[in-house]
A and B are shown apart, each in its own frame.
Chain A
Amino acid sequence: MQKLQRISVGDGISLSIAETDKFKTGHLSVQFLMPLGFADCACGALLTAVLRRTSLRYPRALDLARALEELYGASVSRVVRKKGEYQVLGLSIDFLAERYTLGGEKQLAAAADLLFEFLLRPAVRDGAFDSAIVEQEKKNLCDLIDGRINDKRSYAITRCVELMCDGEKYGLDELGTRGEVEAITPESLYAYYQRLIRETPIEIFFVGEGSEDLAGLVRGKCAALPRGGMRQGGTEVRRTAGEVRRFTDEMPVAQGKLTLGFRTGITAADPDYPALVLFNAIYGATPNGKLFDNVREKLSLCYYCSTMVERAKGLLLVYSGIEVKDKQQAEDEILRQLEAMRAGDFSDADMAEAVATIQNSYRSAEDSAAAVEDWYLTGLIAGNTADFAAMSERVAAVTREQVVAAANKLTLDTIYFLRGTER
């Protein structure tokens, strides 16, 4: 894969290209960076769903679907993510590379044309989106919000973050709330759309082959965009937690879910970030970590017990699925392993192993278009645009003392327990 090229293609619009012929598909995305709190999250989440349905050229959803099938079953996906205190919104298209088509059809230009058709030529009449489509997608979005409880593992993590960051923008859910959804009208959604395309930074990514003409094509598409009054957001970072807060929800489930939320005091923009990455790997993020080894293998309390870091906001979450009766024992062990890390109770072999695991994951990420895109986009938002190789070197240079220091910066903010009850 060639080095990522990032160029300006308009006012606040950047195009990043990772040219490579290793994939059989191309991946193109257009993402708007909406600062959280600037508008209801539900508007953005709903907008992506409405935009994907129809356009001026394809007023019927069926025609648009058939155009995608003609493009060898290309798929358009919505992007609705929370990264730092931004709601990242947009659409992406994945399509078969020209080389693998049966007739040698030009794929990238056609895919880009379709993607911009969805985004910039919506079927709008009299200053409003089609009311039937807006109503259908409002119901779908409400179902999606309600459906968060279906996956208990991710629900417990989302709920912990929501409780932990209550009062901070990061505590907002990227899908918004039911109340927000219900308040949206076809007119208000169109007004939101106009602000989105005028006032937010736009990041366009392409991973694949044959991108020579892409910049020109994208410039042409974006030239007509009205731009101005750009919103520059940022992420508020609380370096330390106050008193530990405890929350419990009850649900009729077989397995309890325990989630611990920490403030790390470190973001990707900080010099001690590589130490946090290494700490995270030794403590819990890998199957060679202390949590897997003790909570699962030694105590046999769970099937999974792992950690993850939010690098823009500076959070670390520990999450596990356990028997309700084992909750205290699991919590004690998770914290005991943290104390051990703080006291420097880990070996040089643990360090070396964690470095090897992290470096392997960085090199492996370059074999996935989605991982490459996610890395650079998160990096942009978190204020650290180092590439995989540079981060790899920085992690390898971390000392034991720096890992201990990172462990000692962690403060426990919230303990959330999704308690199973008898059915």
Chain B
Amino acid sequence: MQEQYSALTGERIRRIDHPTGLTILVNEKPSYNKAYAVYATKFGSVNNVFMRDGRRRTLPDGIAHFLEHKLFENEEGDAFLRFGPVGGNANAFTDFDMTAYLFSCTEHFDKNLEILLDFVQRPYFTEKSVAKEQGIIGQEIRMYDDDPGWRVTFNLLAALYRNHPVRIDIAGTCETIAGITPELLYETYEAFYSPRNMVLCVCGHVTAEEVLEIADRVLKPRANPEVERVFPAEPDAAAAPRAEQRLSVARPLFALGYKNPNVNLSGREAALYENTMEILSEIIVGKGTALYHELYEKGLINASFGSGYQGSESYGYLLFEGESDEPDAVADAIRARIAALRESGVSDEEFERCRRAVYGRLMGAGNSPERIANNMAVCHFRGIDYFTLFTSISDITPADVTRALGELTPERAALSVILPERK
């Protein structure tokens, strides 16, 4: 067991390299009532093409999410229902780059963790259960079809990316999930749910010794096949400058994105880069800028406006989003501000103020065990030491921000707009 302490966050993370190949990370917080565990695999909606044993395989869109739903089913029934009697609150989610199974509880941590580790290692897929899930997920997809905030984001991704699968909805479509079979689910499971491709992160009122004892008892040895994730070549420029859709909304929603060519970063470099982008978005149109207040006072943006960096190791973009009667006027103002900043450079005073705000918000976001453990999992998959997220902010310089500014060129941008239905 290795141990790491951060004087900055006052936290200690203990790491176990389990003989099965699984990495276990525990952030002990005795002052909390709750303990939270997330058991995640580095497999998400973007991993639809991979190489295994020299063979190239292509999976149907939405299979990672479908597998997440179906993994809860074991031979003896729904694993979800096993958490209830031991007071656990279980759930799961599928993101672009990972799929996570989780629970939180305030009692019987051992029994809850036992259930989590057990059901995830026992896939059980049948024709009948796959068919049933197609109805439920079909309704989930329909729900997101009506969600303007969701649509504006996915339309942006489809405009930014020509080939990369981040442009595809996480849940796929009713048509693509119709092609999912039990055999395909087993094959996908074996490729990506190997211990070495997974991580168990725990945060809250629990000790690493307790976690280890349960892991030793429950985890079975499993194969760790070599799998290579394949991504298509992606041009630097956006695929389309603009996307539009009409939905039943009161006023237009917009999302302006700048595609990041600087992907494939990992470790400390990735943490530095992402924090730099956060500071940059604050400098461009954060609440402390004259531009934000000018747009607000003209009624072009409202309190829903926000910005920040989104990304992982195979894609990334700087995002500005909100509601506006004139999305193009807002987008033009932001584009002009970026162009002007590229000319003038960033002042030290601006840089310091924004860095301080980003630091405070990042630190302050670490209140919930859920958020902390999920973040630990994301960091693990990207080779980032969790504490580096916080410590790296002090090492960022105005020159880093200026360099990042240089990447925000017009041809990398796209604007997605949701317009109200025509009356």
Contact = CB atoms under 8 A, between A and B. Distances in A.
B106 A364 contact: yes
10 contacts: A62-B288, A69-B353, A69-B356, A100-B10, A132-B297, A150-B250, A255-B143, A296-B136, A303-B140, A353-B85
Given A352-B85, A360-B88, A69 B32 contact: no
Nearest to B324: A143
Contacts of B367: 23-25, 368-369
Given A321-B139, A363-B106, A24 B250 contact: no
A321 B143 contact: yes
B337 to A, nearest CB: 15
Contacts of A343: none
B78 A297 contact: yes
Interface of B: 8-10, 29, 31-34, 78, 80-81, 84-90, 104-107, 132, 135-137, 139-140, 142-143, 145-149, 204, 248-251, 253, 286-290, 292-293, 296-297, 299, 302-303, 323, 353-354, 356-361, 363-364, 366-369, 394, 421
B297 A357 contact: no
B139 A303 contact: yes
A94 B86 CA distance: 34
B368 A65 contact: no
A23 B136 CA distance: 38
B404 to A, nearest CB: 19
Nearest to A322: B139
Interface string A353-386: 1001101110110111100000000000000000
Given A65-B288, A360-B107, A363-B106, A72 B139 contact: no
Interface stretch (A84-92, A120-128, A224-232, A246-254): A246-254
Contacts of A74: 360
A286 B91 CA distance: 12
Contacts of A252: 248, 421
B203 to A, nearest CB: 11
Contacts of A61: 293, 296-297
A366 B106 CA distance: 11
B291 to A, nearest CB: 10
Contacts of A364: 33-34, 89, 104, 106
B80 A255 contact: no
A61 to B, nearest CB: 5
A102 B359 contact: yes
Interface residues of A, number: 75
B88 to A, nearest CB: 7
Nearest to A304: B143
A360 B90 CA distance: 12
Contacts of A286: 84
Contacts of B142: 254-255, 321, 323
Listed from nearest, the 4 A-B pairs whose CB atoms lie closest are: A72-B360, A73-B357, A300-B135, A146-B250
Interface string A161-181: 000000000000000000000
A136 interface: yes
Contacts of B353: 66, 69-70
A255 B85 contact: no
A305 B303 CA distance: 31
B10 A303 contact: no
Of the listed residues B81, B296, B302, B368, the one surrounded by the most CB atoms of chain A closer than 10 A to its CB is: B302
A100 B8 CA distance: 7
A94 B288 contact: no
Of the listed residues A66, A297, A300, the one surrounded by the most CB atoms of chain B closer than 10 A to its CB is: A300
Contacts of B358: 73
Contact of A288 (B9, B84, B105, B299): B84
Given A25-B367, A100-B364, A349-B85, 15 more contacts: A22-B31, A24-B9, A61-B293, A62-B288, A72-B363, A94-B364, A100-B9, A143-B251, A251-B248, A253-B248, A287-B90, A300-B135, A303-B137, A356-B107, A367-B204
